[in-house]
């Protein structure tokens, strides 16, 4: 705490409470959260290792899957170590710059993940609707550019959010953030200045990304289903649609928790703080946990490679 101005302070750090209302249960909560984080890290590192070693998986869909794994590692690692430190050691203090950096990483890479799902939908569209041009359209260079475009979009969308807080909201009512990480609205509600621009920008970006990306993904699947319905036999239709199953599951795993958490934040005023905070953590943990499982179960090449590794280790 550096200076005093009426009832507001210019802060050098904040204090994260963890799960508000459940402070006495933090030690017990660390068991499921620590276990989920471990599963997320092992699962995504395994996906990266399998795709790297298996040359038959050096295809656009699996390169996008690797990008997804890296993003999930960033999202979970940007929050879980700090949360576990709060649970185990009551180490909730976080510097202002570190708080803004954490906020940027969370919201930026959630935006990047949405962009990667959109790129994967484009990959499925080309593979099914124009299969003869799939390898010429989605070259390794194009896949890399699509990933870079998703990253740049995340930086350009979310960068101003953290910058506006740093420049326009320098003083705060309290240093206590009733949350487990530096979530945008949890920080903004503590600010003494006029936060309307920040609120409107944050809400607009959130809905812009979620709605436009979801609409684009839905449109791609409408065209995919139209192409599939033109196939001669039910077996061919089912086999073709099966190649989209993992992507559809991953999109739902990503979109549903974030949509529920956002709706509760904005409209669920009667929802208790512990429930809201737990949901906010789950939307950062559930996709990193389930994405590797979904792709490992539904993708024959990944499944076979994993079985080979397990058999070799058991000898």
- H and E: helices and strands count for the chain: 12, 5
Question: 253 and 291 in contact (C-beta within 8 Å)?
Answer: yes
Instruction: For the chain, 315 residues long, give each residue's pLDDT as a single digit of tens.
Output: 444 445 888 888 999 999 999 999 999 999 999 999 999 999 999 999 999 988 888 999 999 999 999 999 999 999 999 999 999 999 999 999 999 999 999 999 999 999 999 999 999 999 999 988 998 999 999 999 999 999 999 999 999 998 999 888 888 999 999 999 999 988 998 988 888 899 899 889 988 898 899 999 999 999 999 988 888 788 888 888 888 888 999 999 998 888 777 777 666 667 788 888 998 898 899 999 999 999 988 887 888 888 887 777 776
Would you state the CATH architecture of domain 21-314? Up-down Bundle (1.20)
Predicted confidence at residue 6, as pLDDT, reads 59
- Strands of the 93-95 sheet, one edge to the other: 93-95, 13-16, 176-177
Asked whether 177 and 96 are in contact (CB, 8 A), the reply is: no
Classify strands 13-16 and 176-177 as parallel, antiparallel or unpaired.
parallel
Question: Is 52 within 8 Å of 65 (Cβ atoms)?
Answer: no
Task: Provide the β-strand partners of residue 95.
Answer: 13
75, 163 contact by CB (below 8 A): no
pLDDT at 315: 67
Distance between CA atoms of 172 and 4, rounded to whole angstroms?
10
Provide Rg for the chain, Cα atoms: 22
pLDDT computed for residue 170 by the predictor: 85
Q: Distance between CA 312 and CA 294 in Å, rounded?
A: 23
Provide the pLDDT for residue 268.
65
């Amino acid at each position: 705490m550096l200076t005093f101005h009426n009832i507001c302070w210019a802060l050098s750090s904040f204090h994260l409470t963890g799960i508000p209302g459940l402070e006495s249960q933090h030690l017990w909560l660390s068991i499921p959260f620590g276990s989920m984080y471990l599963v997320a890290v092992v699962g995504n590192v395994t996906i990266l290792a399998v795709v790297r070693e298996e040359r038959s998986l050096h295809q656009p869909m699996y390169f996008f899957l690797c990008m997804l794994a890296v993003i999930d590692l960033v999202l979970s690692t940007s929050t879980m170590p700090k949360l576990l430190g709060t649970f185990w050691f009551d180490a909730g203090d976080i510097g202002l710059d570190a708080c803004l950096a954490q906020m940027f990483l969370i919201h930026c890479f959630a935006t990047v993940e949405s962009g990667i799902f959109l790129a994967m939908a484009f990959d499925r569209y080309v593979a099914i609707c124009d299969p003869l041009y799939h390898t010429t359209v989605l070259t390794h260079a194009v896949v890399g550019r699509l990933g870079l475009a998703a990253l740049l979009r995340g930086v350009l969308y979310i960068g101003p959010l953290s910058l506006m807080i740093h420049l326009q909201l320098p003083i705060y009512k309290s240093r206590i953030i009733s949350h487990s990480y530096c979530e945008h609205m949890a920080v903004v509600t503590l600010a003494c200045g006029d936060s309307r621009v920040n609120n409107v920008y944050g809400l607009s970006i959130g809905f812009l990304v979620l709605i436009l990306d979801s609409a684009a993904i839905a449109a791609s699947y409408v065209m995919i289903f139209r192409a599939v319905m033109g196939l001669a036999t039910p077996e061919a239709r089912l086999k073709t649609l099966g190649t989209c199953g993992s992507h559809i599951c991953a999109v739902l795993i990503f979109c549903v928790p974030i949509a529920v958490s956002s709706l509760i934040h904005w409209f669920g005023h009667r929802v208790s703080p512990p429930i809201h905070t737990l949901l906010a953590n789950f939307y950062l943990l559930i996709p990193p946990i389930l994405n590797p499982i979904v792709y490992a179960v539904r993708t024959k090449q990944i499944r076979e490679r994993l079985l080979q590794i397990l058999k070799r280790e058991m000898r």
